[in-house]
Amino acid sequence: MNPYNIYISGVGGQGIIKTSVIMGEAAMKSDLSVVVGEIHGMSQRGGVVSTQMKIGDSHSPIIEKGKTDLLLAFEPLEALRAVNMINKDSYVVTNTSSIYPFNIRQSEYPYPELSTLLEELSSHAKKVIDLDADGIAKEAGHILAVNMVMLGAAAAVPGFPVDKETIIESMQNNLPEKSISVNLKAFKEGYRVCSSNI
Amino acid sequence: MNIKEILTRKEKDKLFLMGNEAAVRGALEAGVAVASTYPGTPSSEIGNVLYVLAEDAGMYFEFSVNEKVALEVAAAASASGLRSFTFMKHVGLNVASDSLMSVAYTGVRGGMVILTADDPSMFSSQNEQDNRHYARLANIPLLEASSPQEVKDLMKYAYQLSEEFEVPVILRTTTRVSHMRGIVELGALKKPKSKGHFDKDPQRFVPVPESARVMHKNLVEKMDQIGVLSNNSSLNHLFENESSVGIITSGSAFNYVMDVVEEYKLPVNVLKITFSYPFPEKRVLEFLENIEKVLMVEEVDPIMEEEVLAVVGKHQLNKKVHGKLDGTLPRIYEYSPDIVLGGVSKMMGLEMPVTTDSNSVELPKRPPTLCPGCPHRAAYFEVKKAAEDLNLDDLIFPTDIGCYTLGIESPYEIADYLLSMGSSIGTSCGFSKATDQTVVSFIGDSTFFHAGIPPLINAVHNKNNFVLVILDNRTTAMTGGQPHPGLPVDGMGLEAPEISIPAIVKACGVELVEIINPLNVRNSKEIFKKALQFNGVAVVISQYPCMLIKGGSQKGKNIIISVQDDKCTGCETCVLELTCPAIYTNEDGKIRIDPLMCRRCNVCVQTCPEKAIRAKRINNNRGEEE
């Protein structure tokens, strides 16, 4: 199978690596090949974090510029920073809750307006689905479930190669038992909101 | 996946593993009895997994005080007949290199594998040195992995090779392999030997000049034999495409080559070099026979490229060799499919579609920073204020390797000079002698144990004059919170004697030794002032646990810290000087503190000049005020 390329971006501490592990194990359970590329270490501590994933036949997880099928952005500024990874056929799912860089006051450029970010993204993609993933996570029971909201939204994107049930199974193998109900609620709500916006 | 599955799963099972996790499974399948490391990205997770599994696996694992000791622990275990594994980041091997050179001479009995995790593009390192050079410097075999499956499989092969020729073997990964996840099919586990026995043989294990000369001769002979093996090894694999154009590649670069070749159906033959030293000269010669030109795709230095040029020269072949040296590919940083495609297109004269879609909005950067409530931030703030109070404005801040290096960023700007682990103290000695500037130096607790003690002895003995701040946050924070000798726990999670930093500092002859709690701002500032006025080496030990580890401040869960708008004058000291990520200015221009990010360290409360930030007690966990 030609690889389905997913680029996940956001800020250190948002649970991006856990999300890609859950997706990857779900792909493996679906008998698909999968590779993921991560960066650890210095990129944590509130810096940019991104992982790249190819589901299908591929050697390297590193996506060629413009060849991303799905950009999953946990933070809207980081969605736009990754815009050179997408093309006019790409789907973008982005959280609308901003996290300002810690030294934004010393920054050369201001944090753009959300509407500017979304407009610019839309001009480069097939479809941008924006959702308040932080709000949905809090509603589901905990802000830390924001990654499962995003995962749920990803699973609802047309063409996503792994089905919802297999992802839920993989969540159960990767998340602590005591938080599973909140995470499932977050996942399902992310899925629902994204589906209704497609 | 539960991390324990790396140990509990059976042969033929499949796991979705990171390269570093696969290295652990490889060690378990090889029956490694002793493993040792000093944590360093991108190799850190190997140690994190062993910390959890070693005891159950019946093996010994330690976080050594530094990489040199780690390598020595492994070397002695091998000399005693056990299989040993030592692993480190690329620059860690510099620290271990003194003993590496000698263990190459003495050789080993039980197999010994040294995994070096290189960091092309410097995601979390001070340089991107290519450690394939070390295999040449020490003259020992080198294997290069491209994927988690290969990491695991090569671990097992490396032990066979090491034992057959009684020589240590280097396994090289890069960040993109160490931190790549992929599906790994498991092999059978092998039970490690519980104890070895060291059979004495000084002619073999003590390299004094007379014996060392014999050892070197033996090593060269062994490597000649291993060269026959690398030339015939199936690890060096040909992907034949009946082309007159070839690519020779290794490691992570191989993955990019194959993705590009398959995606664009490029007519090229590819030779993947995995057993890369001794360089398989004959294998390459055969490969070159049917092609006219070859592109060398490797990270980071043109090592194989020079080897291939030597083959071409030695055999007077009329072949074109492209790569880094003729500018077909970049000489620095990691590669990517885009970069490889660019190189291949250049060599083959192909036109490739350009797909760079750039946006028209300028974006602010997002540098990593110290966490909310990080005790280092408080210490930095206090040092600066203490210097201000004393009208000292010409300060040099040598720094060291850890989270606190993030002090380089605005507004802290408290990192002026850095070379390597422990260099803060050594370079402070130099600055103190070479200038009349005030020197305030920073080092973390783990880094102090690693390489800070000899330079501190040097500083006292040579009558230096500077302030050393030991930022003791009770963990090796930047690499993910591994224990170190200052903690009552060892590399297998067992109880261990705690080594006292103040006692070491005093034993080094330091006369002014102060311990502060950096979250107590006024007191800490006064102590920094005292240290700045001291003539000689003054050491301030700033003790507070990292907010990310267990035991980090969760204190005052029923306290909320907030800004009183009627008192806030908008001076922005908190936002512009303290710059905690939890403090921000909202749309109405008011200062706000994010209760989810705030760790209630209370430093902003103490540093607000208008006393407008207040800690309030709340009576429930919903954040409602009492």
| Residue pair B377/B578 in contact by the 8 Å Cβ criterion | yes
Per-residue pLDDT averaged across B112-125, rounded? 96
Per-residue pLDDT averaged across B595-623, rounded? 86
**Between 3.40.50.920, 3.40.50.620, 3.40.190.10, 3.40.50.2000, what CATH number should domain B237-348 receive?**
3.40.50.920
A115 in contact with B at a CB cutoff of 8 Å? no
- CA separation (Å) from A131 to A71, A74, A93, A122, B230? 14, 10, 8, 14, 55
Given pLDDT bands bounded at 50, 70 and 90, which one contains residue A135?
Answer: very high
Q: Which range is least confidently modeled, A32-46, B121-135, B159-173, B498-512? A: A32-46
Token pair for B344: 């291949």
Across the beta sheet with B14-18, what order do the strands follow? A127-131, A91-95, A70-73, A4-11, A48-55, A34-37, B180-185, B14-18
Q: How far apart are CA B459 and CA B141, in angstroms?
A: 40
pLDDT at B625: 41
Nearest CA in chain A to B253: A60
**B339: closest CA among B213, A124, B183, B327?**
B327
For A59, residues 6+ apart whose C-beta sits below 8 A from its C-beta are: A35, B146, B147, B254, B255, B256, B258, B259
Considering only CB atoms, which chain A residues are within 8 Å of B151? none
Phi, psi of B555 (to 5 degrees): -60, 155
Given pLDDT bands bounded at 50, 70 and 90, which one contains residue B357?
Answer: low
Length of chain B: 626
pLDDT at B309: 98
Flag whether pLDDT at B15 surpasses 50: yes
B621 in contact with A at a CB cutoff of 8 Å? no
Flag whether pLDDT at B623 surpasses 70: no
b/e map B355-377, b = 16+ CB within 10 Å: eebebebebbebbbbbbbbbbbb
Indicate the helix (H) or strand (E) that contains B115.
Answer: strand B112-118
Nearest to B180 among A36, A46, A124 (CB): A36
Q: Which range is least confidently modeled, A10-19, B106-115, B305-314? A: A10-19
Q: With an 8 Å Cβ cutoff, are A60 and B337 in contact?
A: yes
Flag whether pLDDT at B622 surpasses 60: no
pLDDT at B596: 83
b/e map B171-202, b = 16+ CB within 10 Å: bbbbbbbbbbbbbbebbebeebbeebeeeeee
Flag whether pLDDT at B617 surpasses 90: no
- pTM score over 0.90: yes
Given pLDDT bands bounded at 50, 70 and 90, which one contains residue A71?
Answer: very high
| Residue pair A86/A24 in contact by the 8 Å Cβ criterion | no
Nearest to B183 among A33, A39, A103 (CB): A33
Nearest CA in chain A to B45: A40
Q: How far apart are CA B337 and CA A5, in angstroms?
A: 13
All CATH 3.30.70.20 domain ranges in chain B, comma separated: 559-617
Flag whether pLDDT at B537 surpasses 80: yes
Report angle CA B414, B90, A46 to the nearest 5 degrees: 45
Q: Which range is least confidently modeled, B18-22, B94-98, B283-287, B620-624? A: B620-624
Per-residue pLDDT averaged across A98-114, rounded? 89
């690889």: which residue's tokens?
A3
Q: How far apart are CA A172 and CA A179, in angstroms?
A: 10
Flag whether pLDDT at B300 surpasses 90: yes
Q: How far apart are the first and last CA of chain A?
A: 25
A141 in contact with B at a CB cutoff of 8 Å? no
What is the percent of chain B where pLDDT is above 90? 90
The residue of A5, A60, A138 whose CB has the most chain B CBs within 10 angstroms, and thus the best one to mutate to test that interface, is: A60
Q: What is the DSSP letter of B127?
A: -
Report angle CA B448, B62, B98 to the nearest 5 degrees: 65
Per-residue pLDDT averaged across B361-380, rounded? 93
Flag whether pLDDT at A198 surpasses 70: yes
Per-residue pLDDT averaged across B459-482, rounded? 95
What single string gives the DSSP state of each residue in A126-172? SEEEEE-HHHHHHHHT-GGGHHHHHHHHHHTSTT-SS-HHHHHHHHH
**B144: closest CA among B229, B269, B254, B49?**
B254
B572-575 long-range contacts, CB within 8 A, separation 24+: B572/A105, B573/B607, B573/B608, B573/B609, B574/B604, B574/B607, B574/B608, B574/B613, B575/A105
Phi, psi of A13 (to 5 degrees): 100, -5
The residue of B181, B360, B586 whose CB has the most chain A CBs within 10 angstroms, and thus the best one to mutate to test that interface, is: B181
**Between 3.40.50.150, 3.40.50.2300, 1.10.3720.10, 3.40.50.970, what CATH number should domain B375-543 receive?**
3.40.50.970
| Residue pair B390/B529 in contact by the 8 Å Cβ criterion | yes
Q: What is the DSSP letter of B172?
A: E
What pLDDT, in 10s, does the model give residues B176-216?
A: 999 999 999 999 999 999 999 999 999 999 999 999 999 99
In angstroms, what separates the C-alpha of B267 from chain A's closest C-alpha? Answer: 18
Given pLDDT bands bounded at 50, 70 and 90, which one contains residue B626?
Answer: very low
- CA separation (Å) from B437 to B44, B173, B269, B367, B431? 37, 43, 61, 30, 8
Q: How far apart are CA B357 and CA B518, in angstroms?
A: 47
Name the A residues in 11-40 with CB < 8 Å from any B CB.
11-12, 20-21, 24-25, 28, 33-40
B400: region left, alpha or beta (phi > 0 left; psi from -120 to 50 alpha): beta
The topology under which CATH files domain B5-232 is Rossmann fold (3.40.50)
**More confident call, B126 vs B587:** B126
Q: How far apart are CA A86 and CA B357, in angstroms?
A: 8
Mean residue pLDDT across chain B: 95
| Residue pair B97/B133 in contact by the 8 Å Cβ criterion | no
In angstroms, what separates the C-alpha of B604 from chain A's closest C-alpha? Answer: 15
The residue of A85, A103, A118 whose CB has the most chain B CBs within 10 angstroms, and thus the best one to mutate to test that interface, is: A103
CB neighbourhood size of B622 (10 A):
6
Per-residue pLDDT averaged across B405-425, rounded? 95
| Residue pair A170/A134 in contact by the 8 Å Cβ criterion | no
| Residue pair B247/B323 in contact by the 8 Å Cβ criterion | no
Does domain B559-617 match CATH 3.30.70.20? yes
For B564, residues 6+ apart whose C-beta sits below 8 A from its C-beta are: B612, B613, B614
| Residue pair B499/B402 in contact by the 8 Å Cβ criterion | no
A171 in contact with B at a CB cutoff of 8 Å? no
- CA separation (Å) from A31 to A62, A161, B132, B183, B448? 21, 11, 36, 10, 48
Flag whether pLDDT at B352 surpasses 90: no
Given pLDDT bands bounded at 50, 70 and 90, which one contains residue A1?
Answer: confident
Type of residue found at B1: M
Considering only CB atoms, which chain B residues are within 8 Å of A117? 361
Q: How far apart are CA A156 and CA A65, in angstroms?
A: 24
**B385: closest CA among B526, B543, B534?**
B526
CB neighbourhood size of B220 (10 A):
10
Phi, psi of B592 (to 5 degrees): -135, 155
Per-residue pLDDT averaged across B22-39, rounded? 98
Per-residue pLDDT averaged across B585-603, rounded? 90
In angstroms, what separates the C-alpha of A80 from chain B's closest C-alpha? Answer: 8
Given pLDDT bands bounded at 50, 70 and 90, which one contains residue B16?
Answer: very high
| Residue pair B527/B511 in contact by the 8 Å Cβ criterion | no
Per-residue pLDDT averaged across B158-165, rounded? 98
Q: How far apart are CA B131 and CA B138, in angstroms?
A: 11
Flag whether pLDDT at B624 surpasses 70: no
Q: How far apart are CA B384 and CA B377, in angstroms?
A: 11
For B212, residues 6+ apart whose C-beta sits below 8 A from its C-beta are: B105
All CATH 3.40.50.970 domain ranges in chain B, comma separated: 5-232, 375-543
Type of residue found at B553: S
At B395 the three-state DSSP class reads: strand
pLDDT at A102: 83
What is the percent of chain A where pLDDT is above 70? 98
Q: How far apart are CA B561 and CA B126, in angstroms?
A: 37
**Between 3.40.920.10, 3.30.390.10, 3.40.50.12280, 3.40.50.261, what CATH number should domain A4-195 receive?**
3.40.920.10
